[in-house]
């Protein structure tokens, strides 16, 4: 299997991004170790600021390109955040969901879904240059006689011609 690195993203021939995900997880754990060694008694606000800027930015690098789909990859990424939230004294006894609520942090999977929805919104509403985005056809662009249900932003399925 051939692996190519471009703009900090490792591409393999199957587009599984295993090396990229493992590399980013290793960097995130390294940053967690640095935070743990450097800041012994930190407040929740201080931790959240450090986590968002030093750890989560590594985990989410190029998310719009690779978009982890496999459950094992999503769990590996989420495991870093689980471990990070245990660094704060007093929160390590709570479960993961309670720690996230107290720190006002969403799960990484939720952030990824929100990011995807933002990208689709920008494509649909023409915020991106139309020459470099996919061409979407909506039911609202068809004659009224061909549309039966839905709204004007309902997508039509294209048939692939090979």
- Helical H runs in 39-147? 44-50, 57-59, 63-66, 71-85, 96-103, 108-124
pLDDT mean over 130-149: 64
Which pLDDT band holds residue 100 (cuts at 50, 70, 90)?
very high
- Would 88 be classed as within a structural domain? yes
- Would 63 be classed as within a structural domain? yes
Range of the domain at 22: 3-128
Residue 26 has pLDDT above 90, yes or no: yes
68 and 20 Cβ atoms separated by less than 8 Å: no
pLDDT mean over 102-125: 89
Residue 145 has pLDDT above 80, yes or no: no
Closest Cα to residue 108, out of 65, 149, 46, 61?
61
pLDDT mean over 30-49: 92
- Would 85 be classed as within a structural domain? yes
Under 8 Å CB-to-CB from 29, ≥6 apart: which residues? 80, 83
Residue 88 has pLDDT above 70, yes or no: yes
pLDDT at 90: 87
Domains of the chain: total: 1
């Amino acid at each position: 299997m051939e692996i190519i690195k471009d703009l900090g993203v490792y591409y393999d021939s199957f587009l599984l991004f295993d090396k990229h995900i493992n590399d980013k997880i290793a960097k995130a754990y390294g940053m967690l170790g640095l935070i743990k060694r450097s800041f012994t008694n930190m407040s929740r606000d201080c931790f959240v600021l450090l986590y968002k800027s030093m750890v989560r930015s590594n985990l989410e690098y190029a998310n719009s390109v690779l978009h982890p789909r496999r459950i094992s990859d999503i769990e590996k990424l989420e495991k870093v955040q689980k471990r990070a939230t245990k660094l704060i004294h007093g929160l390590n006894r709570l479960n993961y969901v309670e720690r996230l609520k107290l720190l006002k942090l969403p799960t990484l999977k939720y952030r990824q879904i929100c990011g995807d929805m933002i990208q689709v919104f920008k494509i649909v509403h023409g915020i991106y240059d139309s020459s470099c985005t996919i061409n979407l056809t909506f039911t609202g662009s068809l004659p009224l006689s061909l549309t039966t249900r839905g709204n004007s932003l309902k997508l039509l399925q294209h048939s692939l011609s090979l």
